[in-house]
Amino acid sequence: MDLDAVRALLTTDGATLLAEATRRYGVEDEFALGTRLRRDHPPELVAAALTQARLRARAADKFDAGDAARMLFTVDGYEQATRAAVAGHRAARMAATLGAGAAVADLCCGIGGDLIATARAGLDVTGVDDDPVTAAVAGANVAALGLERTARVVEADVTTVDRSPFAAVLCDPSRRGGRGRTFDPDAYTPPWAFVRTLLSGTACVKVAPGIPHERVPAAVEAEWVSDRGELKEAALWAGDLSGSGVTRRATLLPGGDTLTDADDPGPAEPRPPGRYLYEPDPSVIRAGLVTAVAGLVDGWQLDRTIAYVSADRPAPTPFARGYEITDTLPYDVKVLRRYVREHGIGVVTVKKRGVDVVPEKLRAAVRPRGDGVVTFVVTRVAGRAGVLVARPVTPAG
């Protein structure tokens, strides 16, 4: 989509067409819908409207459905946009520290996901993006959602923006290059050197969840966030926005439960499995807080290099999924196949860590047939590959 298409969609005729395309998309066949709309509208405008209707339908998994139905999107902007729940968490944290009405600069604002959440949290936010189309889309979204009083968008090079009027800076560097998504901080745009200057003040910078711990500057808090058990992103908090004495944090949404290195008692000696097994949330694993979960459940790791925790007693926690261990078997396909046959197992879930196994192939190899359900956890036990037969237990958290 180019700038002319954005402007055309914001006209009265374009808005009417877009509303009709959004309302009928997924109800009518897309080809038939396009044919019908082209009877009354220019083909280029219909193509733009159908693209937006398609993106709006996809965006309902990231944004509130009501918001998505009124917003404009670019393909790259949608893909990099922060999920609404995560943006809301981040904005609420900033507002709690900075106070209502504080001025925030949202650099690399994209189509406005964080911009919208930040304005709704009661902060006064200025979005900045150097791409004319993206900036126009973000501005249109601010207007569509009625946020003009507390949010605005300017087109500019983010590295040249005067940051002195702002109490804090929020930045979401582009993590896409010519070959797609990049995980190397040195390949970010704007460059990592500029990001480090932001982190010398009061700032929050969104980064890829796989960022190496050693790349996080000193005195900066790194927070990994999961939403409903799926790791979504990481953010670096600096200056007044960082937690006092905290360098690593795992946060679980939608509940907002949080665990930090201040809660971590440190490593304990690995031991064989007890009666219960705990699989930490992926945000906990990325934050390096598996031993903190072990402390919460009065447990231990099976191996220092593997993110499984065991305990003798049930201790429900939101930070890990719990299983009761019913059997311990050698990692031998014939033994596992016999176990499945003798117990009438028809559904096998395979989880693995620290052992080179393809879950789908192992599941097929044991030939499940019957009414029973089982989970095989393939991992190292006392330095050797083994299988823990487990059944999930419902966590109170």
Q: What is the CATH number of the domain that holds 148?
A: 3.40.50.150
What is the reported pLDDT for 187? 85
Instruction: Check whether 259 has a pLDDT greater than 60.
Output: yes
Read off the pLDDT of residues 128-176 as tens digits, 9 standing for 90 and up. Answer: 999 999 999 999 999 999 999 999 999 999 999 999 999 999 999 988 6
Residue at 70 is within a domain: no
Residue at 268 is within a domain: no
pLDDT category, 395, cuts 50, 70, 90? low
Domain count, the chain: 3
Give yes or no: residues 125 and 256 share one domain: yes
Give yes or no: residues 100 and 137 share one domain: yes
Give yes or no: residues 285 and 190 share one domain: no
DSSP-derived pairing of the beta strands 309-311 and 300-301:
antiparallel
Give yes or no: residues 251 and 186 share one domain: yes
What is the reported pLDDT for 1? 84
Give yes or no: residues 193 and 303 share one domain: no
Instruction: Check whether 360 has a pLDDT greater than 70.
Output: yes
Residue at 7 is within a domain: yes
Mean local confidence (pLDDT), 187-212: 95
Give yes or no: residues 230 and 298 share one domain: no
What is the reported pLDDT for 184? 80
Give yes or no: residues 294 and 227 share one domain: no
Give yes or no: residues 181 and 291 share one domain: no
Instruction: Check whether 286 has a pLDDT greater than 70.
Output: yes
CB atoms within 10 A of CB 11: 12
Residue at 66 is within a domain: no
Give yes or no: residues 234 and 286 share one domain: no
Long-range residue pairs from 227-232, CB within 8 A, at least 24 positions apart, any chain: 227/83, 227/85, 227/86, 227/253, 227/254, 228/253, 228/254, 229/281, 229/282, 229/321, 230/282, 231/282, 231/283, 231/286, 232/83, 232/86
Residue at 270 is within a domain: no
Residue at 73 is within a domain: no
Give yes or no: residues 54 and 141 share one domain: no
The domain in which residue 167 lies consists of 79-260
In angstroms, how far is the first alpha carbon of the chain from the final one?
45
Residue at 65 is within a domain: no
Residue at 267 is within a domain: no
What is the reported pLDDT for 382? 73
Give yes or no: residues 183 and 127 share one domain: yes
List the beta bridge partners of residue 300: 310
pLDDT category, 397, cuts 50, 70, 90? very low
Read off the pLDDT of residues 67-91 as tens digits, 9 standing for 90 and up. Answer: 999 999 999 999 889 999 999 999 9
Give yes or no: residues 252 and 350 share one domain: no
CB atoms within 10 A of CB 43: 10
DSSP-derived pairing of the beta strands 168-171 and 176-177:
unpaired
Mean pLDDT of the chain: 94
What is the reported pLDDT for 92? 97
